[in-house]
Structure 1
Amino acid sequence: MRRQAISYAIIRFRPHAETEEFANIGIVLLAPQIGYLDFRLETKRFGRLTSFFDSVEATTIRSVLKNYDAELKRIRDIAGHNGSGQARFEFEITDNAEHLFVALTKDREGVIRFSEVRFAMTEDPKSKLDELFEHYVRRNFASSIYREGLLERQVRTMLKLREIDRNFKRRSFDDGVYSATFPFVELADDKPIKILKPIYLGQDDPSRILDHGNKWLFTVNRLKQLLPRDIVFAVEGPAGHSPRRRAFQEAVDQFRASDIQVVDATKERELLEAVQS
C-alpha cells in the first residue's frame, strides 16, 4: 500500500469551560484519498476521568461518552466507511468524508472539544488510528504495540539509509481463511523471496512474551506454503536472567526450531547481515 497523507484530531473531554482542563478521550482520522473517515473513542476505561473530574458524576461521564460514540458512528456511516477504507456507495464520496471531518472538528462550545487538526503520512490509516489512540488516549508509550511499531520504524530507517528499502514492501498473505501482513517482504519480479519481521518480546509478563511469540510462530506455520523459505525475525527482549528472559529465550528457541532465522533487533550489523545475505 502506498503512503498517503492523513489528517487527525484528538477528541477531548472538557466538562468545565471555566478552568479549560481537559482529558484526551479519542481520535478521529481522515484519509481523503480513499474517503476513509473513522474514529476511536474511550468507552471502557473511566477511572482517569472520574478521578480527575471528581465533581462530575461517573454516570454522567458514561452517558456523555456513550451518546457521543453513537453520534460518531452515525457520522462515519454517512461518510460511507465500512471498516476497510472502501466506500459503500457507487458514487464518489471522498469530498463527503472530508467535509464531514472539517465540520466535526470545527471549534464549538460543549463538553466535547477537539485539538487542532494534525497531519501525518502512513501506509495503513486503520493501523495509524490505533497507534494514535494508544499514544494519546491510552498513553501506552511503553506498550508492546508501541514498542513493536518503534522497531518497525527503526528497521525502515536503516533500510532507507542503506538504499535498499525499495526492495522491501508490505505484503499480506491469505490462505482463504487466515491472513497476516508482514511489514518487510523482499520481492524479486514481484515474487516474495525473504520476510523480515521485527518482533517485540519484552512484555511485562512471561506468559505474554510466550503468547506473542506463539502468535507469530502459528502465523508462519499456518501460511508456510505461501511464504518464502527465508524468514528473519528481528527480536527485542528483556535483559538479565529473570523469568521474562527465560520466556524470551524459549520463544527464540521455538522460532529457530521452525527454521526461522532470529537476529537481535538492537544490533544493526547483525540485522544488516541477515537482510543482505
Structure 2
Amino acid sequence: MHAPDTPRSRDTYDYAVIRVVPRVEREEFVNVGVILSCPTAKFLEARIEVDEARLRAIDPDIDLETVRRHLAAIEAICAGGPGSGPIGLLPQRARFHWLTAKRSSIIQTSPVHLGRCTAAGSSLEHLMDTMVRVRR
C-alpha cells in the first residue's frame, strides 16, 4: 500500500519501463507498463496496459495469457503482502530492485531512470502517456 497521492515537496523517484520481448533473439519489444518507486512517499506501483495488436505484429504466435500472468505478478509484487509470494514480502526498495534487475526473458525492464515529482501517482500516469500509450 502507498501513501495517498497528495501534493508535497518535490520527491525523487526511480522508474523503469516494462517491456515485452516476444522473441528475445530478435530484441524487438513493446513497452507495456511502468514501475515507479518513490521511497519518500512510500510508493511502489506498476501500471500495465497491453496492446495485443502491437505484440502480435512482432510475434503472431505470442502466448498472451502467459504474458498477462507474468505482468500481473509484477503488479502483485509492487503491492506486496502475503498474496504476492516471497518477493512481495521484501521491503519496497528491495522489491523495486528485484523487479528491475536485468533479465533475458520475454518480460524485461528498461534501465532505471530518475525523476522528481510532487505526486508519484500523477508522475506514473504521465510516464504511461509518454512511454507506453500510442496516440491514435
Classify the TM-score, shorter chain.
0.7 to 0.9
Q: In the alignment, is the contact (CA less than 8 A) between 2:78 and 2:96 conserved in 1? A: no
Q: 1:12 aligns to what?
A: 19
Q: Which amino acid aligns with 1:68?
A: H
Give the drift of 1:128.
0.6
Q: In the alignment, is the contact (CA less than 8 A) between 1:10 and 1:27 conserved in 2? A: yes
Deviations 1:96-136 (A, max 9, x none): 11111001100122100110000011111101101101111
Q: In the alignment, is the contact (CA less than 8 A) between 2:45 and 2:78 conserved in 1? A: yes
Among 61, 65, 68, which residue is 1:66 paired with? 68
Give the drift of 1:79.
6.5
CA distance in 1, matches of 2:48, 2:108: 13
Is there any run of 5+ residues in structure 2 with no aligned partner, and where?
1-7, 83-89
CA distance in 2, matches of 1:31, 1:79: 18
CA distance in 1, matches of 2:29, 2:71: 18
Q: 1:35 aligns to what?
A: 42
Give the drift of 1:9.
0.2
Is there any run of 5+ residues in structure 1 with no aligned partner, and where?
81-94, 144-277
Deviations 1:26-48 (A, max 9, x none): 100000112210011114x3111
Q: 1:104 aligns to what?
A: 99
CA distance in 2, matches of 1:70, 1:116: 21
CA distance in 2, matches of 1:73, 1:25: 12
With structure 2 as the length reference, what TM-score do the two structures score? Answer: 0.80
Deviations 1:178-223 (A, max 9, x none): xxxxxxxxxxxxxxxxxxxxxxxxxxxxxxxxxxxxxxxxxxxxxx
Q: In the alignment, is the contact (CA less than 8 A) between 2:74 and 2:99 conserved in 1? A: no
CA distance in 2, matches of 1:29, 1:64: 23
Quick one: percent identity of the two aligned structures? 27
CA distance in 1, matches of 2:112, 2:54: 24
CA distance in 1, matches of 2:113, 2:102: 14
Cα 1:79/1:130, change in 2 over 3 Å: farther
Q: After TM superposition, what 4+ stretches of structure 1 lie above 4 angstroms from structure 2?
A: none
Structure of greater Rg: 1
Count of residue pairs brought into register by the alignment = 122
CA distance in 2, matches of 1:79, 1:10: 23
CA distance in 2, matches of 1:13, 1:118: 18
CA distance in 2, matches of 1:69, 1:20: 19
Q: 2:86 aligns to what?
A: none
**Aligned counterparts, 1:152-231, within 5 A:** none
CA distance in 1, matches of 2:128, 2:67: 15
CA distance in 2, matches of 1:3, 1:12: 28
2:134 corresponds to 1:128: no
